[in-house]
Structure 1
Amino acid sequence: MSMNNKLDQLYRSVIMDHYKSPRNKGVLEDNNITVDMNNPTCGDVIHLTLQVEDGVVKDARFEGEGCSISMSSASMMTQLVKGKTVEEALHYADNFSKMMLGEDVDDDVDFDDAEALSGVAKFPARIKCATLAWKAMEQGVQQK
């Protein structure tokens, strides 16, 4: 098995792990930011709640329905932005969009598990699936 095939297989297993065992699934109560978005092209739906205090994303939760790409991306995104400043979260979102378009990302960005979604760039129809949660987060943190 070639190195590329091994990497693709590893990335698929990371994506399926987040899909089958999503992190931060649920809804935050009280006066938190709520964003609902959908991808009409394929039917992905996300309900994102964020707790932002003093310019920091204290917590992030999501619920939704969709393909493995969109739901695992939401899981990965919520893990990445928790504890980040709004500016850092937006920086991650901007770089995630670049990664989805096959562009170079900034050296200071460590996507952790979300790196597994880099292969989506080869499938333009799936880019909206991968970026849905990130677009919801961008919209949400800009409300605060």
Structure 2
Amino acid sequence: MASAMEQLYQQVILDHSRLRSGERSLEHPHGESFQVNPTCGDECRVQVRVTERRLTELGWTGKGCSISQASLSVMHEMLEGESFDDAEELGELFRELMRSRGAELEPADQQQLEDLSAFTGVAKYPARIKCALLGWMALRDAMLQAQHD
């Protein structure tokens, strides 16, 4: 039986996969990336508009499992309006969580992850890690494009 924390985490993922924050296309994005997970067929398009290395707008569209869609939704909530540096730092922390094999990170890091902590259990399943990271790969690529624009 799942612990209370695991149930809470599962609920966060389900809520974000249903009520998707930031799911929209942007007009005239400065950077855009389309990514597909060939293992399961999940796909997403992440678009950014930037001003002085800040994600002034972050939009995404996609289809796939609840993990990939929830990860995109949480990513949007946490990063729209943030600096590139903060986005990269949080992305690296999330990648570290995905490499943890389901172990929680240091308490300060877990706190910084906020709702992304809900994906701790996902890291136990290597096939699902790619689902959780798909949008983050697209964001990193879109940010790189925006820097060169």
Q: What is the TM-score normalised by the length of structure 1?
A: 0.91
Q: For 2:62 and 2:41, how far apart are their aligned partners in 1? A: 10
Tell me how far apart the structure 2 counterparts of residues 13 and 106 of structure 1 sit (CA, whole Å).
21
Q: State the SS of the aligned residue for 1:142.
A: helix
Match for residue 9 of structure 1 among 4, 7, 12? 7
- Indicate the RMSD between aligned Cα atoms, in angstroms: 1.8
Question: Structure 1 pair 132/51, CA: closer, same or farther in 2 (3 Å)?
Answer: same
Q: Which residue of 2 aligns with 1:32?
A: 30
Q: Could you tell me which amino acid in structure 1 is paired with residue 128 of structure 2?
A: R
> For the residues of structure 1 that align with 2:138 and 2:57, how far apart are their CA atoms?
14
- Note the alpha carbon deviations across 1:85-141, whole angstroms, 9 max, x for none: 101101111110000111746946612211111111111110000000011111111
Select between 45-54 and 98-107 the one with higher mean Cα deviation.
98-107
1:58 alignment partner, SS class: strand
Higher relative contact order (CA 8 A, sep 6+): 2
Q: Contact 1:15/1:116 (CA < 8 Å) preserved in 2?
A: yes
Q: How does 1:122-137 map to 2 (within 5 A)?
A: 122-137=124-139
Percent identity for Structure 1 against Structure 2: 34
Structure 2 residues without counterparts, runs of 5 or longer? none
C-alpha distance after superposition, 1:3-62 (max 9, x if no partner): x61111111111000001100011010243111001000000001111111110111111
Once residues 61 and 114 of structure 1 are traced to their aligned partners in structure 2, the CA distance between those partners, rounded to angstroms, is: 18
Aligned length: 142
Bigger fraction of residues in helix:
2
Tell me the residue number matched to 2:115.
113
The 1:112–1:30 alpha-carbon spacing in structure 2 relative to 1, beyond 3 Å, is same
